[in-house]
Structure 1
Amino acid sequence: MGGALLVLWDIDQTLIKTTGVATEAYTEAVLETIGSPWRGDMTFNGLTERAMAVRILRMHDVEPDPALLTLFLANLERSLLARAEAIRARGHALAGARAALEALAAAPQARQSVLTGNIRTVAEMKLQAFELHSWIDFAIGAYGDDEVERNDLIPHAWRRAESRYGHRYGPAHTVILGDTVRDVEAALAHGAAVVAVASGTTAVADLRDAGAQVVIADLADTGVVLAAIEQATAVVSRGR
């Protein structure tokens, strides 16, 4: 794998699964913030934590003014972090995640981080829970506390990576790996390469229709993952 490359991973349902824990944390945060019992749903694949918080509050008939949104996100962050052991006990790393991260870490000019809807502290906790954090440079990632819209996250990663490593990563040197249409859209919004991973609830056909250069079933075969990254970045390079 030649040339400088910035690899940005989605977390939930791409690298790990954490069954039911997020709903419990949101339920607690809603009760703590507005005193209402939970009556929302968690079917918002690919949203940032900020965007989800807005939707959840409105589901509970509360308009999220800035002060309330800040309070809710603080309560949510605390609630999620308090569930680190539950995430470890009830969740799991997806097949091939560790091997894929390790293989990319061995590529001399590749840098790995995350592009995720999670708040940064929660992103770190989740990957630490399954010992996937060692290969991730969290300082150059982009997170759900950076922006409301996922499509606006990539510039944060580019800015942080350039500041840290002195290299300006552009679209042809950036690849997003994620399991939702929103991951695909975030990459395409900035002309970056994208490998869609059908390990979540989004069908292969939907990921292709969204414009993913490459779609793979999962991360189980490291060779397939590396080849997919090569193919996706090659497509972007040819198009420039």
Structure 2
Amino acid sequence: MGGALLVLWDIDQTLIKTDGVGTEAYSEAVLETIGSPWRGDMTFNGLTERAMAARVLRMHDIEPDPALLTLFLANLERSLLARAEAIKARGYALTGARAALEALGGEPGARQSVLTGNFRTVAEMKLRAFDLHSWIDFAIGAYGDDEVERNALIPHAWRRAEARYGRVYDAAQTVILGDTVRDVEAALAHGAAVVAVASGTTAAADLRDAGAEVVIADLGDTAGVLTAIGRATEAAGRSA
């Protein structure tokens, strides 16, 4: 692969699955915040927690004013963190996730972190639950704490990486790996490379239609993952 590379992973349905634990946490947070039973759904793939929280409150006929949204997010974060053992027991790392992280960890010049809609605390908890955290530098990631819209997250990772390592990563040296159209859109909004992984509920064809030039079925072929990253960064370089 060679050269400087900033690899930013999505978490849910790209590296791990949590088998409905998130819905349970949202249900508890809704009841705690507004006193109403859960009647929402969790079909908004790729949203940040801030965006998802606002939508969920509106599903319950509540307008998410800033004070209420802050309270709901605090309750939600606490509810998610309280389910660490449930996530570990019921969830799992997706096939090839550990091997891909380890292989990239051995690439000179590559730094790995996350670009995720999760709170930072929850992102760390989830990856620690499946022992996937060792290759991730959480200090240079971008999180649902940072922005409402996922498209605005990449600059946070760039700023943090520059502050930590004294290196400016350009768009062609930055690759997003994720399973949703929103992951693809976030990368393309900044000219970054993207490897779309069809391991979630979004079909490969839909990921291509969203603009992903490189789409893989899953992380099961480690060499294939590295090749895909190389292809994606080459494509981003041509478009720069």
TM range (shorter): over 0.9
Give the equivalent residue in structure 2 for 1:52.
52
Q: Spell out the pairing of 1:162-177 with structure 2 (5 A cutoff).
A: 162-177=162-177
Give the equivalent residue in structure 2 for 1:140.
140
1: distance between equivalents of 2:239 and 2:197?
A: 22
Q: Spell out the pairing of 1:122-161 with structure 2 (5 A cutoff).
A: 122-161=122-161
Q: Give, in angstroms, the shift of residue 236 of structure 1.
A: 1.0
Q: Which amino acid aligns with 1:42?
A: M
Conservation of the 8 A alpha-carbon contact between 1:101 and 1:135 = yes
2: distance between equivalents of 1:74 and 1:38?
A: 17
Conservation of the 8 A alpha-carbon contact between 1:77 and 1:122 = yes
Q: Give, in angstroms, the shift of residue 239 of structure 1.
A: 2.1
2:14 counterpart of 1:20: no
Runs of 4+ in 1 over 3 A off after TM superposition: none
| Deviation readout 1:188-236 (Å, 9 max, x if unpaired) | 0000000000000000100000001200000001000000000000011
Conservation of the 8 A alpha-carbon contact between 2:191 and 2:239 = no
2: distance between equivalents of 1:113 and 1:143?
A: 11
Q: Give, in angstroms, the shift of residue 163 of structure 1.
A: 0.3
Aligned residues: 240
Give the equivalent residue in structure 1 for 2:37.
37
1: distance between equivalents of 2:236 and 2:41?
A: 37
TM-score, structure 2 normalization: 0.99
Give the equivalent residue in structure 1 for 2:5.
5
2: distance between equivalents of 1:19 and 1:220?
A: 20
TM-score, structure 1 normalization: 0.99
Give the equivalent residue in structure 2 for 1:108.
108
Identity of aligned residues (%): 85
Q: Give, in angstroms, the shift of residue 2 of structure 1.
A: 1.0
Conservation of the 8 A alpha-carbon contact between 1:193 and 1:213 = no
RMSD: 0.5
For residue 238 of structure 1, give the secondary structure of its aligned residue in structure 2.
helix
1: distance between equivalents of 2:177 and 2:131?
A: 19
For residue 134 of structure 1, give the secondary structure of its aligned residue in structure 2.
helix
Structure 2 unaligned blocks of 5 or more: none
